[in-house]
Structure 1
Amino acid sequence: MPELTVELQLNTLPGSPGVYQFFDKDGKMLYVGKAKNLKKRVTSYFTKTHENGKTRVMVKKIRNIKHIVVPTESDALLLENNLIKKYQPRYNVLLKDDKSYPWICIKNERFPRIFPTRKLIKDGSEYFGPYT
């Protein structure tokens, strides 16, 4: 199946809430973002002049766009957060550090403590979240 052009992908985006992913020519994920309206948000990357040089460079590299439609904006926020943590896209600098949304931690101890945290430590503890 031939790859769709970015222009065709933009034309077929829905006006629903969701998460979008930008990929380069090698299929490497560049960026994950959330939107109240996928069509408006993603199209804005290609119709506006970006003052931020990093954004301009990223837009030039985009060769494929994937999207996931979700029921609400809140769901989009959580999905975006989880995808960024999982894939660590190069252009997502703000949410890579696990400090964005709170999690519930159950410590791996003889008498487990339960508490909210914004920092995930890989010490065998269980984490639930993130929560908005």
Structure 2
Amino acid sequence: DKGKGKGKGKGKRAAPLNSEFWERKVEEENREELGGEYTGTIQRYNFKFGWGFIAADNHADLPPQVKSKLAQAKKTSEQDGKEWTDAELIYFRKPDVNHADGFKLAQDTPVTFSVYIDDKGAGAYDVNQA
């Protein structure tokens, strides 16, 4: 029965979209929505845990606060001995996606999004299929 049962991370899933968990999380992280509308492509999406990363089409157009938070995250990771190869990718979570019209998250999907900063770094919200 090798591989059966519960191991690290097995049996865990992202909270449902309508869960109060997501509202509490946004409040706890002191999210500051900076707005704007940017275009990019989904680079990775972890369906099981409900998060992913977007590559902005034009990183230079992002607000300075976002670029600063991304650079800070890279520096912290490198100081912790982690290899950081995705310095320009922007994090997003399942509840930050507009799931209207059957939009399914998948790698290489073109999207539009707005940006925020919070205690943990920078992220995307109001993610829509382009």
TM value normalised by structure 2: 0.23
Greater radius of gyration (CA): 1
Structure with the bigger RCO (C-alpha within 8 Å, sep 6+) is: 2
TM value normalised by structure 1: 0.23
